[in-house]
Amino acid sequence: MIKKINSVIALALCFSFTNAIAHAGNKTFRLPANVTTADYQPNTIVVKFKPEFRQAMFAASNQNKALNNIATGIGAYSLTKLFPVHKEPTATVNARGEKLVDLSLIAQLKFSSIPNIEKAINALLATGMF
Protein backbone atom coordinates (compact mmCIF):
# COMPACT_ATOMS: atom_id res chain seq x y z
CA MET A 1 0.00 0.00 0.00
CA ILE A 2 2.80 2.42 0.92
CA LYS A 3 4.56 1.60 -2.37
CA LYS A 4 1.40 2.49 -4.30
CA ILE A 5 0.98 5.76 -2.40
CA ASN A 6 4.62 6.66 -2.98
CA SER A 7 4.25 5.74 -6.64
CA VAL A 8 1.23 8.02 -7.00
CA ILE A 9 3.09 10.87 -5.32
CA ALA A 10 6.15 10.28 -7.51
CA LEU A 11 4.03 10.17 -10.64
CA ALA A 12 2.24 13.36 -9.60
CA LEU A 13 5.55 15.13 -9.01
CA CYS A 14 6.91 13.85 -12.30
CA PHE A 15 3.71 15.04 -14.01
CA SER A 16 3.99 18.44 -12.35
CA PHE A 17 7.61 18.97 -13.38
CA THR A 18 7.00 17.66 -16.88
CA ASN A 19 3.96 19.91 -17.14
CA ALA A 20 6.14 23.00 -16.73
CA ILE A 21 8.61 21.68 -19.29
CA ALA A 22 5.89 20.65 -21.73
CA HIS A 23 4.30 24.09 -21.85
CA ALA A 24 7.64 25.87 -21.95
CA GLY A 25 8.91 23.97 -24.97
CA ASN A 26 5.84 22.27 -26.44
CA LYS A 27 7.25 18.89 -25.48
CA THR A 28 5.16 15.88 -24.61
CA PHE A 29 5.02 13.94 -21.36
CA ARG A 30 7.04 10.75 -21.24
CA LEU A 31 7.39 8.32 -18.39
CA PRO A 32 11.01 7.50 -17.54
CA ALA A 33 12.25 4.47 -19.47
CA ASN A 34 12.49 2.26 -16.39
CA VAL A 35 8.91 2.91 -15.19
CA THR A 36 6.39 0.13 -15.78
CA THR A 37 2.67 -0.20 -15.09
CA ALA A 38 3.59 -1.94 -11.82
CA ASP A 39 5.19 1.32 -10.61
CA TYR A 40 2.05 3.45 -10.53
CA GLN A 41 -1.58 3.10 -9.55
CA PRO A 42 -3.52 1.86 -12.58
CA ASN A 43 -6.30 3.94 -14.13
CA THR A 44 -5.50 6.96 -11.97
CA ILE A 45 -3.92 10.31 -12.77
CA VAL A 46 -3.20 12.87 -10.06
CA VAL A 47 -3.41 16.39 -11.46
CA LYS A 48 -2.84 19.90 -10.17
CA PHE A 49 -5.07 22.50 -11.77
CA LYS A 50 -3.68 25.93 -12.53
CA PRO A 51 -5.04 28.52 -10.07
CA GLU A 52 -7.00 30.29 -12.80
CA PHE A 53 -9.02 27.09 -13.31
CA ARG A 54 -9.99 26.73 -9.64
CA GLN A 55 -13.68 27.35 -10.36
CA ALA A 56 -13.64 25.08 -13.42
CA MET A 57 -12.39 22.04 -11.50
CA PHE A 58 -15.86 20.78 -10.73
CA ALA A 59 -17.97 23.11 -12.85
CA ALA A 60 -20.97 21.89 -14.79
CA SER A 61 -20.08 20.04 -17.97
CA ASN A 62 -21.17 22.89 -20.25
CA GLN A 63 -18.60 25.19 -18.61
CA ASN A 64 -15.73 22.76 -18.92
CA LYS A 65 -15.91 21.41 -22.48
CA ALA A 66 -12.18 20.85 -23.06
CA LEU A 67 -11.77 18.78 -19.92
CA ASN A 68 -15.02 16.91 -20.51
CA ASN A 69 -14.01 15.97 -24.05
CA ILE A 70 -10.70 14.56 -22.81
CA ALA A 71 -12.38 12.83 -19.86
CA THR A 72 -14.87 11.17 -22.18
CA GLY A 73 -12.09 10.10 -24.52
CA ILE A 74 -10.15 8.31 -21.79
CA GLY A 75 -13.24 6.91 -20.10
CA ALA A 76 -12.97 9.02 -16.95
CA TYR A 77 -15.62 8.29 -14.37
CA SER A 78 -14.44 10.22 -11.32
CA LEU A 79 -12.72 13.53 -10.55
CA THR A 80 -12.25 14.13 -6.84
CA LYS A 81 -10.17 16.48 -4.75
CA LEU A 82 -7.36 14.73 -2.92
CA PHE A 83 -7.59 17.24 -0.08
CA PRO A 84 -11.32 18.07 0.07
CA VAL A 85 -11.22 20.15 3.27
CA HIS A 86 -8.12 22.13 2.31
CA LYS A 87 -8.78 25.76 1.39
CA GLU A 88 -6.77 28.12 -0.78
CA PRO A 89 -3.93 29.66 1.29
CA THR A 90 -4.56 33.25 2.31
CA ALA A 91 -0.86 34.10 1.90
CA THR A 92 1.63 33.08 -0.79
CA VAL A 93 4.54 32.45 1.61
CA ASN A 94 4.91 31.28 5.20
CA ALA A 95 6.68 33.08 8.07
CA ARG A 96 10.07 31.83 6.81
CA GLY A 97 9.43 33.14 3.31
CA GLU A 98 8.85 29.70 1.80
CA LYS A 99 6.27 29.48 -0.97
CA LEU A 100 3.05 27.76 0.10
CA VAL A 101 1.49 24.97 -1.97
CA ASP A 102 -2.22 25.16 -2.66
CA LEU A 103 -3.40 21.60 -2.02
CA SER A 104 -6.96 22.54 -2.94
CA LEU A 105 -5.93 22.44 -6.62
CA ILE A 106 -4.86 18.78 -6.55
CA ALA A 107 -7.37 16.21 -7.80
CA GLN A 108 -7.49 12.56 -8.71
CA LEU A 109 -8.91 11.47 -12.05
CA LYS A 110 -10.07 7.85 -12.27
CA PHE A 111 -10.66 6.33 -15.67
CA SER A 112 -11.36 3.00 -17.33
CA SER A 113 -8.43 1.06 -18.66
CA ILE A 114 -6.64 2.68 -21.58
CA PRO A 115 -3.65 1.30 -23.47
CA ASN A 116 -1.35 4.31 -22.99
CA ILE A 117 -1.13 6.48 -19.85
CA GLU A 118 1.19 8.92 -21.64
CA LYS A 119 -1.45 9.71 -24.26
CA ALA A 120 -4.01 10.38 -21.53
CA ILE A 121 -1.64 12.71 -19.67
CA ASN A 122 -0.69 14.53 -22.87
CA ALA A 123 -4.36 15.00 -23.75
CA LEU A 124 -4.95 16.54 -20.30
CA LEU A 125 -1.91 18.79 -20.68
CA ALA A 126 -3.20 19.99 -24.04
CA THR A 127 -6.24 21.55 -22.32
CA GLY A 128 -3.94 24.11 -20.66
CA MET A 129 -5.69 23.59 -17.32
CA PHE A 130 -2.76 21.81 -15.63
In the chain, where the domains are located: 2-126
Is residue 24 classed as helix, strand or coil in its secondary structure? helix
Q: What pLDDT is stored for residue 39 in this prediction?
A: 92
* Residue range 112-127: mean pLDDT, rounded: 85
Cα dist from 62 to 29, 56, 57, 66, 128, whole Å: 28, 10, 12, 10, 17
Q: Is the pLDDT of residue 90 over 90?
A: yes
* Residue range 71-97: mean pLDDT, rounded: 90
Q: Is the pLDDT of residue 22 over 70?
A: no
Q: Is the pLDDT of residue 36 over 80?
A: yes
What is d(CA 81, CA 48) in angstroms, rounded to the nearest whole number?
10
* Residue range 38-49: mean pLDDT, rounded: 91
Q: What pLDDT is stored for residue 63 in this prediction?
A: 61
